[in-house]
Amino acid sequence: MAKKKVIDVQTVDTEDVKQQGRMRNAERDRKIKDAEALYIRGFSLQSISEFETIQVGVKTLTSWKKTHNWDEKKQLENISPNEIKGMIRANVAAIKSGKQMIYKPDDISKLAAAWDKMDDNKKKAVYSMEAFDSFIDWFTDIVAKSTGNKRETNLQTLKLIRTLQDNYIETLI
């Protein structure tokens, strides 16, 4: 009688194997919500796909982005009062010159309503960023006009101020 040859097969515990295939609905919904929040905050789809809590492909994220209108939500999330005022002014200018309105009044009212619904910290962050940007523009002109050691000092000051402003905004968001 011939002996049977036994082959040693190495296996891995199921805990060590990543679950592949379809996600459960609750898990998928959580990942969609988390990925959307990251996208709105400015992360790229590639970097989102690499987050430990997300770990889905860029193709899936692209599909979610399209299905759930992330670009529109991102735009609404980052709208400022000055942009809304600019849209209104553009419409008024078009009316005065007898041209077609650039923006639909309904769209402007939706944006204004979205702005009103934002929580106070987000509004505070937007107002702060606008003020900081104006200040940085002003100080950048000073740096550009300065020379020698004064220019270097102003440049270092500008870098420090920008870092502090960014840190402050992060506390508001």
78 vs 130, residue with greater confidence: 130
Residue pair 35/59 in contact by the 8 Å Cβ criterion: no
pLDDT of residue 66: 93
- Coil vs helix vs strand at 107: helix
128-172 pLDDT per residue, tens? 888 888 888 888 888 888 889 998 998 899 889 888 888 887 777
Tokens standing for 115?
Answer: 């702005």
- Residue spans of the domains in the chain: they are 25-78, 80-119, 120-172
pLDDT of residue 14: 46
**Cα separation, 137 vs 135, whole angstroms:** 5
90-137 pLDDT per residue, tens? 888 888 898 888 888 887 787 777 767 666 666 677 778 888 888 888
User: For 58, what's the count of Cα atoms within 13 Å in the CB-facing half-sphere?
Assistant: 5
pLDDT tops 50 at residue 13: no
14-70 pLDDT per residue, tens? 444 445 567 788 888 888 988 888 888 778 898 888 887 788 999 999 999 999 988
Tokens standing for 145?
Answer: 């006009």
pLDDT of residue 171: 77
